[in-house]
Structure 1
Amino acid sequence: MKKFINDTVLVEEQMILGMVKAYPRHLKKLDCGNVVVRAEKKEGKVALISGGGSGHEPAHGGFVGTGMLDAAVAGPVFTSPTPDQIYEGIKAVATDAGVLMIVKNYTGDVMNFEMAAEMAEMEGITVKHVVTNDDVAVKDSLYTIGRRGVAGTVFVHKIAGAMAETGADLDKVQATAQKVIDNVRTMGAAIEPCTVPAAGKPGFTLSDDEMEIGIGIHGEPGTHREPVKKADEIVDMLLSQILEDIDYSGSEVAVMINGAGGTPLMELYIINNRVSDVLAEKGIRIHKTFVGEYMTSIEMQGFSISLLRLDDEMKQLLDAAADTPAWN
């Protein structure tokens, strides 16, 4: 294993410290673990907290800032943070307007965030949550009951965060987050695995001519493996699954082409070229496209496509100003 690290035990802490030192205008780190919060606390409005295992950078700390999250909690690589860490994050950002937790649908994340919410409620903090489940690839996985929460979660951060900035109450912010969840779908593929530093070896193996379709953001199996095809053919395969799950006809959408950490921008733009053409052929209008790394899997060579069906309110919130390390 070759990685630019010092010690496998210190990877997450040193990563968070480096992030905070890079963006002191946006972030500060709590003393209770790998929890980052806004450098200047938001007052009088609903606060948003999210998180999960490390290894998905810039998610989730990169989305802390004005217009998005108030706190992000990072567990070990691909492992949920503890309830105590999440609880400290909730306490640090809580306002009289309450706190919304945005949780990806992984068993450990859901359980630990819910436990943290119970702890916070015992302190008189009002906490509600939503669970993202945008991955259309598999109904259940090694980590979940039901669909996995993947890159579409970033749209939830953005749109719910923008709603919170308007001063809307907790019920409205939660309902807005849920509307995004109900209208976003994602599917991905990979041609090379990633290596968790503590494991020291790839989490799975693929032969030189093989790809995994429907892979998860922790390297979980997808729907199947097959020989590598041309980019356009892979896009068609993934988009067909997404478009079968929601009726996007006549809709306006936001598109996210998300790199898994080891895929060059050159290839992501080739992928977006085909996505854009297919949607145009089907009469689906693109309001805005995002191409880059938003929720990675360390250095996995892969990508995902997310489509979010928009209404006028969601368009306005998506376009609203935000200022975070990874979104501005």
Structure 2
Amino acid sequence: MSTMPGPCRVSDPAVFGRVAVLMGGTSAEREVSLASGGNVLEALRSRDVDAFGVDGVPALVELIGKGRVDRVFNILHGGDGENGVLQGLLQALGVPYTGPGVLGSALTLDKIRTKQVWMAAGLPTPRYVRLPGGDDRGPEDIRNAARELGLPVFVKPSCEGSSVAVSRVLTEADLDDAVEVATSYPGELLMEQMVVGDEFTVAILADGTTHHTLPSIRIVPAGEWYDYNAKYVADDNQYLCPGLEGRAEDEIRRLALAAFETAACSGWGRVDVMRDRTSGAFLLLEINTAPGMTSHSLVPKAAAQVGIGFEELCWRVLEGTTGEGLTP
């Protein structure tokens, strides 16, 4: 399976026009988005792209209305940056943007609906229980769901990323803490059977209309699991790339690509996968359609493995703009 996209399709940065790097916003992932956006902005400017930072959707709409935006590099993590709202807005206004379109973005931010689509397509994913939001969910619902699935489990918001508000429940004693976190979150929750094994991620990068998988990364957190602190703060995790060899590497990348395309995704993204330690089976967790681009982020690590540096990676993502085609 090819790991290397072809040559860059654009050589003149002027082709991209005025590029708004959209970051920040109001979601729980604001700080991570600002860090990612700052890195992307610096990388694009280093290659003479006429790029500038924009904090949040309202500021972007104002600039579009004034005719100051030709293209958007979306690095707005979570919320309206990944739920289809931004994508629909830009599509209606005729402004090209990076990442998947309306359907792929809206679907994959919702972990429950993504799993339903995967299961309908026969793709493997851990067993789960949907916990309704708001007043329709009580503490006993969470305990009953844990009994149905059997411990250990994860409890996580269906529509958040970066391990925000995620609880790991190993024993009955952990349920009280999970209930406390869960009851403070108003939206739907996903309770998912915990897979005991190794965690992997596979980056996807478009080259024209073709999607390429980059080498898998095996994530070995220094702590007990890969939580928010491990993702964005800690410096003692291990990232093994490629994470696998031979047939297993081919298999995980085929599965990741199938998951990405089945969920109507395009452009670029990252697919998270677990491998059961006992059976060796791969199980899909989720898709990130605006992956982090911080010093701890995984897509740049995978790209570097095949000789694509950070600046070139940002350029290639911009080449994959959804909407108006690029003319090299």
TM-score under structure 1 normalisation? 0.34
Structure showing the higher helix proportion among its residues: 2
Structure with the greater alpha carbon radius of gyration: 2
TM-score under structure 2 normalisation? 0.34
